[in-house]
Amino acid sequence: MESNEAFQNALKTVDTLTQRPSNEQLLKLYALYKQATHGDNDTERPGGFDFKAAAKYNAWEKLKGESKENAMKAYIDLVNELKSAES
């Protein structure tokens, strides 16, 4: 599956970015990664004052129903966009 290979390459590319993505971009990367690797979010919503965990949960939850394949493609596109912005 060539998109899986491209996805694996994108995962490696994220670690080599010289500019830190914005918090919004990091949340999007997280959500797309989780959707691509696990599918729909079936975890319990974090409670209390764990705002970081709640933000991650909400970002992933927004992708409910999105296929793993589409999430992989969106992740790859976002990583390519971030890499291009560094040039």
- Domains, the chain, ranges and CATH? 2-86 (1.20.80.10)
Give yes or no for a contact between 78 and 29, defined as CB atoms under 8 angstroms apart. Answer: yes
Q: Say what the pLDDT of residue 3 is.
A: 83
Q: What is the pTM of this model?
A: 0.93
Q: Say what the pLDDT of residue 77 is.
A: 98
Q: Say what the pLDDT of residue 15 is.
A: 95
Q: Say what the pLDDT of residue 63 is.
A: 98
Give yes or no for a contact between 75 and 29, defined as CB atoms under 8 angstroms apart. Answer: yes
Q: Say what the pLDDT of residue 55 is.
A: 96
What CA–CA distance (Å, rounded) separates 75 from 35?
10
Q: Say what the pLDDT of residue 47 is.
A: 86
Full pLDDT tens readout for the chain, 87 residues = 478 999 999 999 999 999 999 999 999 999 999 999 999 999 999 988 999 999 999 999 999 999 999 999 999 999 999 999 997
